[in-house]
Chains A and B, each alone.
Chain A
Amino acid sequence: MTADNAGSVLELRGIHQLYGTGDAQVHALRGIDLSVAAGEYLAIMGPSGSGKSTLMNLLGCLDVASSGTYSLAGNDVNELDEKELARVRNREIGFVFQSFNLVPRMTALQNTELPLAYGGVKYAERKRRALEALELVNLSHRADHRPLALSGGQQQRVAIARALVTNPTLLLADEPTGNLDSESTHEILAIFDQLAAQGRTIVIITHEENVAERAHRVVTVKDGLITTDRLNRERELVR
Chain B
Amino acid sequence: MKFGDILLSAVRGVTANKLRSILTMLGVLIGVGAVILLMAVGNGSAQRVNSLITSLGTNTLTIRPSGNSTGSSAITLAVSNKLAAAGLGHVKAVVPESTTSLTVSSTNASETDVSIIGTSPDYFTVSTATVASGNAFTKADVDSAAKVAVIGSTLATELYPTGSALGQSITMDGTPFTVVGILATQSSTGFTDPNSVVIAPVTRVQRSFTGFGALSSLLAESKTSAGVTAAQGELGVELNQLLHVSASTAASAATASTSGTTGTFGGFARRAAAAAASGTGTTASSSSSLPYTITNASTLLSTAQASATSFTVLLAAVAAISLLVGGIGVTNVMLVTVTERTREIGIRKALGATRGAILGQFLAEAAILTLLGGILGVVAAVFAAQFEINGTQPVLIGYSIPLALGVSVAIGVFFGVYPAGRAAAMRPIQALRSI
**Which residues of A are in contact with B by a Cβ distance under 8 Å?**
57, 60, 62-63, 82-83, 86-87, 89-91, 95, 97, 101-106, 114-115, 117-120, 162, 166
In the assembled complex, which residues on chain A have CB atoms less than 8 Å from the CB atom of B349? 62, 86, 89
Q: Contacts A57-B429, A62-B432: A117 and B1 contacting too (C-beta < 8 A)?
A: yes
Given contacts A82-B355, A114-B351, 8 further A-B contacts (CB under 8 A): A62-B350, A86-B354, A89-B349, A90-B352, A95-B351, A118-B353, A119-B352, A120-B2
In the assembled complex, which residues on chain A have CB atoms less than 8 Å from the CB atom of B348? 103, 114, 118
User: Which of A57, A89, A97, A118 sits near B1, CB closer than 8 Å?
Assistant: A118
**Contact, CB under 8 Å: A86 / B429:** no
Q: How far is the CA of A91 from the CA of B428 in the complex (A)?
A: 16
**Contact, CB under 8 Å: B432 / A83:** no
Does B166 reach chain A (CB closer than 8 Å)?
Answer: no
Q: How far is the CA of A87 from the CA of B351 in the complex (A)?
A: 9
In the assembled complex, which residues on chain A have CB atoms less than 8 Å from the CB atom of B1? 117-118, 120
**Contact, CB under 8 Å: B352 / A87:** yes
**Contact, CB under 8 Å: B429 / A63:** yes
Does B20 reach chain A (CB closer than 8 Å)?
Answer: no
Q: How far is the CA of A115 from the CA of B16 in the complex (A)?
A: 21
**Contact, CB under 8 Å: B2 / A95:** no
Look across to chain A and name the residue whose beta carbon is closest to the beta carbon of B356.
A83
Q: How far is the CA of A120 from the CA of B15 in the complex (A)?
A: 24
In the assembled complex, which residues on chain B have CB atoms less than 8 Å from the CB atom of A103? 344, 347-348
**Contact, CB under 8 Å: A101 / B429:** no
* Contacts A/B (CB < 8 Å), 13 sampled: A62-B432, A63-B427, A89-B349, A90-B352, A101-B346, A101-B432, A103-B344, A103-B347, A103-B348, A104-B344, A117-B1, A117-B2, A118-B1
Look across to chain B and name the residue whose beta carbon is closest to the beta carbon of A103.
B344
Which residues 310-355 of B have a CB within 8 angstroms of A? 343-344, 346-355
In the assembled complex, which residues on chain A have CB atoms less than 8 Å from the CB atom of B13? 105
**Contact, CB under 8 Å: B352 / A62:** no
- What's the count of A-B pairs with C-beta under 8 Å? 67
Q: How far is the CA of A104 from the CA of B16 in the complex (A)?
A: 10
Q: How far is the CA of A237 from the CA of B268 in the complex (A)?
A: 101
User: Which of B2, B346, B355, B428 sits near A83, CB closer than 8 Å?
Assistant: B355
Q: How far is the CA of A90 from the CA of B350 in the complex (A)?
A: 8
**Contact, CB under 8 Å: B12 / A118:** no
**Contact, CB under 8 Å: A97 / B432:** yes
**Contact, CB under 8 Å: B350 / A89:** yes
**Which residues of B are in contact with A by a Cβ distance under 8 Å?**
1-2, 5, 12-13, 15-16, 343-344, 346-355, 357, 427-429, 432
Q: Contacts A62-B428, A63-B427, A117-B5: A86 and B347 contacting too (C-beta < 8 A)?
A: no
Q: Contacts A63-B427, A101-B347, A106-B12: A86 and B2 contacting too (C-beta < 8 A)?
A: no
In the assembled complex, which residues on chain A have CB atoms less than 8 Å from the CB atom of B2? 117, 120
In the assembled complex, which residues on chain B have CB atoms less than 8 Å from the CB atom of A86? 349, 352-355
Q: How far is the CA of A83 from the CA of B424 in the complex (A)?
A: 12
Q: How far is the CA of A117 from the CA of B7 in the complex (A)?
A: 12
CB distance from B261 to the nearest CB of A (A): 69
Q: How far is the CA of A103 from the CA of B349 in the complex (A)?
A: 12
In the assembled complex, which residues on chain A have CB atoms less than 8 Å from the CB atom of B346? 101
**Contact, CB under 8 Å: B355 / A90:** no
**Contact, CB under 8 Å: B427 / A95:** no
CB distance from A112 to the nearest CB of B (A): 10
In the assembled complex, which residues on chain A have CB atoms less than 8 Å from the CB atom of B352? 86-87, 89-91, 115, 118-119, 166
Considering residues B1, B2, B12, B351, which has the most beta carbons from chain A within 10 angstroms of its beta carbon?
B351
In the assembled complex, which residues on chain A have CB atoms less than 8 Å from the CB atom of B347? 101-103
CB distance from A73 to the nearest CB of B (A): 14
Look across to chain B and name the residue whose beta carbon is closest to the beta carbon of A126.
B5
Q: How far is the CA of A103 from the CA of B348 in the complex (A)?
A: 9
Q: How far is the CA of A102 from the CA of B1 in the complex (A)?
A: 18
Q: How far is the CA of A63 from the CA of B357 in the complex (A)?
A: 19
CB distance from B352 to the nearest CB of A (A): 2
Considering residues B1, B12, B15, B346, which has the most beta carbons from chain A within 10 angstroms of its beta carbon?
B1
Q: How far is the CA of A75 from the CA of B12 in the complex (A)?
A: 35
In the assembled complex, which residues on chain A have CB atoms less than 8 Å from the CB atom of B350? 60, 62, 89, 95, 101
CB distance from A100 to the nearest CB of B (A): 10
Q: How far is the CA of A104 from the CA of B428 in the complex (A)?
A: 18
User: Which of A57, A90, A120 sits near B351, CB closer than 8 Å?
Assistant: A90
**Contact, CB under 8 Å: B354 / A83:** yes
Q: How far is the CA of A91 from the CA of B350 in the complex (A)?
A: 11
CB distance from A171 to the nearest CB of B (A): 13
**Contact, CB under 8 Å: A105 / B343:** no
